Amino acid sequence: MKNTLLIGFFSFLIIAPSHLLSAGFNVSGASVTLVGPMILTTMDDVTLSSGSFDAGNALVQVGGNWNQISGTFIPGTSTVTFQDSSSSLSSLTGSTAFYSLQCVSAGKTLTFAAGSTQTVRGSLIFTGTVANPVRVRSSVSGTYAYLTNSGTNTVNNVDAQDNNASGGLPINAESASVNSGHTVNWFFSASANPPSGFTGIALGVSSISWTWNAVTAATSYRLYDADAPTTLITSVAINNFIETGLSPSTTYRRVVTAIVGGVESNLSNSATVVTLNNVGSGSPTPTQFSLLPGSPYPRILTPSRPENRRLFFLFNNPNHESVGISIYDFQNRKIRDLDASASAPIAGAETMVWDVKDDSGHIVPGGIYLYKIKAGDVTKTGGVVVAR
């Protein structure tokens, strides 16, 4: 059975060759220096309450927490590594300057005190596995902890959240690393391509419809505020989303990513949309049938992907005209009349949908298709592409 090593009010030199094993390592009021290439292993916490701890070039293996309450930690060229223990969680309290900081214990969660700064001037190494990543978290959800790396970093299979690394080099999280949100200066590589064709249209004063091209094998998509890319708005399983609860006459900029095999892609192109004005606050009330800006959408349909085989016609129809929409092939042969009785409002706009089928119920071949809309005295035409 190992006891906690409590060192206080004296100066100590612990000289190599040595492997010092203890349940915990507490320095209070003392001056402790590790001399020579040695290993200090604690099954529990390392606590620096006051005094100083000079780690020299030792390997300091921590099974529990790292608490720098006060005092001075002198890193030298040492390595502090968080290793396997009976607990899968290790916390870092206070701000510490490390030389090398490591965690290669799959499934371990490193919780940094919110607002604290951990500085690494040598190597930063975090490595987990796909099934059990090393998790980097703040002690307060939604509040940054800071990590400044001025040396090198090797980061694989890591799940990071609420961490701001803007004070140092970019942290390149590779393999199956996951951005769980609210990270700065972390870059997550991925095998998946980002969604293309990302666009949006205002559906009214408080809602925007966002659409993008589907990504092969994507299991979900994440929509972010592009002005703060790590602010997650929503996660959806299909390649469109109607965002509601927005403010009138306000500019919104968004980006989207794809999740393929548990790995998040890079960011898509950004799309910027301005919501409509409130009626009576500078925007005239519609007096006749009109398509909403950007409608119909999407302009490229892929019937092989169920999530991208519907063409949405969104419109204002203040006079309640009878609306007819017909679809023609490129030889101007009518292949489908849409059923007006199936129209339904989406976020305040009336909507009709073409499901990429002809009147016989068959999915149409690839090619260019034309639409013709007739509502009272208003006629509108246009084209879309069906890709196979």
Q: What is the distance between the alpha carbons of residues 90 and 110, in angstroms, rounded to a whole number? A: 5
Q: What is the distance between the alpha carbons of residues 297 and 86, in angstroms, rounded to a whole number? A: 54
DSSP 35-104: ESS-EEEESS-EEE-SEEEE-TT-EEEESS-EEE-SSEEE-TT-EEEE---S-SEEEEES-EEESEEEE-
> What is the model's pLDDT at position 334?
95
Taking 60 as the threshold, does the pLDDT of residue 3 lie above it? Answer: no
- Within this chain, do residues 131 and 219 fall inside the same structural domain, yes or no? no
pLDDT tens digits, one per residue of 327-375: 999 889 999 999 766 555 554 568 888 999 999 999 999 999 999 999 9
Taking 70 as the threshold, does the pLDDT of residue 220 lie above it? Answer: yes
Q: Residue 240 — very low, low, confident or very high, per pLDDT cuts 50/70/90? A: confident
- Within this chain, do residues 208 and 177 fall inside the same structural domain, yes or no? no
- Within this chain, do residues 242 and 117 fall inside the same structural domain, yes or no? no
All residues at 6 or more sequence positions from 113 whose CB lies less than 8 Å from its CB, including other chains: 91, 92, 93, 94, 138, 139, 145
Asked, for residue 342, whether it belongs to a domain, the answer is: yes
All residues at 6 or more sequence positions from 194 whose CB lies less than 8 Å from its CB, including other chains: 215, 256, 257, 258, 265, 266, 267, 268
Q: What is the CA radius of gyration of the chain?
A: 29
> What is the model's pLDDT at position 23?
79
Show which of 132, 158, 188 is a domain's final residue.
Answer: 188
Q: What is the CATH number of the domain that holds 242?
A: 2.60.40.10
- Within this chain, do residues 330 and 260 fall inside the same structural domain, yes or no? no
- Within this chain, do residues 245 and 180 fall inside the same structural domain, yes or no? no
pLDDT tens digits, one per residue of 289-335: 888 877 888 878 888 876 678 888 888 888 888 899 999 998 899 99
For the chain, how many structural domains are there in total?
3
- Within this chain, do residues 214 and 154 fall inside the same structural domain, yes or no? no
Q: Residue 9 — very low, low, confident or very high, per pLDDT cuts 50/70/90? A: very low
Amino acid at 245: G
Out of 205-209, 215-219, 249-253, 365-369, least confident range = 205-209
- Within this chain, do residues 156 and 48 fall inside the same structural domain, yes or no? yes
Asked, for residue 284, whether it belongs to a domain, the answer is: no
Q: What is the distance between the alpha carbons of residues 59 and 56, in angstroms, rounded to a whole number? A: 9
Backbone φ, ψ for residue 235 (5° rounding): -125, 130
DSSP 148-213: EESSEEEEESEEE-SEE-TTSS-EEEETT-EE-S-EESEEE--SSPPP-S-EEEE-SSS-EEEE--
Asked, for residue 314, whether it belongs to a domain, the answer is: yes
Asked, for residue 279, whether it belongs to a domain, the answer is: no
CB 87 within 8 A of CB 106: no
- Within this chain, do residues 107 and 212 fall inside the same structural domain, yes or no? no
For residue 116, what are its two tokens? 């604290």
Q: What is the CATH number of the domain that holds 336?
A: 2.60.40.1930
Asked, for residue 282, whether it belongs to a domain, the answer is: no
> What is the model's pLDDT at position 1?
37
> What is the model's pLDDT at position 284?
54
pLDDT tens digits, one per residue of 36-48: 788 988 888 999 9
> What is the model's pLDDT at position 134?
93
- Within this chain, do residues 335 and 238 fall inside the same structural domain, yes or no? no
> What is the model's pLDDT at position 314?
84
Asked, for residue 280, whether it belongs to a domain, the answer is: no
pLDDT tens digits, one per residue of 35-89: 878 898 888 899 999 999 999 999 999 999 999 999 999 999 999 999 875 458 9
Backbone φ, ψ for residue 308 (5° rounding): -130, 35
Taking 50 as the threshold, does the pLDDT of residue 281 lie above it? Answer: no
Q: Sign of the CA dihedral 54, 67, 2, 78?
A: negative
Asked, for residue 128, whether it belongs to a domain, the answer is: yes
For residue 328, what are its two tokens? 């023609």
Q: What is the distance between the alpha carbons of residues 123 and 151, in angstroms, rounded to a whole number? A: 6
Q: What is the distance between the alpha carbons of residues 168 and 178, in angstroms, rounded to a whole number? A: 20
- Within this chain, do residues 48 and 124 fall inside the same structural domain, yes or no? yes
- Within this chain, do residues 11 and 113 fall inside the same structural domain, yes or no? yes
Taking 50 as the threshold, does the pLDDT of residue 154 lie above it? Answer: yes
Backbone φ, ψ for residue 115 (5° rounding): 85, -15
**Range(s) of the domain holding residue 117:** 5-188
> What is the model's pLDDT at position 341?
62
3-state secondary structure 23-36: CCEEEECEEEEEEC
> What is the model's pLDDT at position 266?
72
Share of the chain above pLDDT 70, in %: 87
CB 212 within 8 A of CB 196: yes
Asked, for residue 139, whether it belongs to a domain, the answer is: yes
